[in-house]
Amino acid sequence: MKNVGQTDRLFRILIGLGILVFFLIGTWSAWAYLGVLLLATGLIGYCPLYSVVRSKTNRKPLTG
């Protein structure tokens, strides 16, 4: 079940890519794993931490 909303996903993807590009141009460090994590959760739409704290940023679809 996806628990990451559209806006949250967009920010995760953009920030994750930004972090990765920064470290791919420079030197690889432990901070680059944060970029990988943000990019992966943004692309998948699921954040394990949100499940642990019982949070979500997506909305249920509206029914007519």
- Residue 50 Cα to chain centre, angstroms: 11
- Model confidence over 16-52: pLDDT tens digits? 999 999 888 887 788 889 999 999 999 999 999 988 8
How far is it, in rounded angstroms, from Cα 27 to Cα 39?
19
Give pLDDT, residue 61: 59
Give pLDDT, residue 18: 93
pTM: 0.81
Give pLDDT, residue 62: 46
What does the block give as tokens for 6?
A: 């559209």
Backbone angles phi, psi at 31, to 5 degrees: -65, -25
Give pLDDT, residue 63: 53
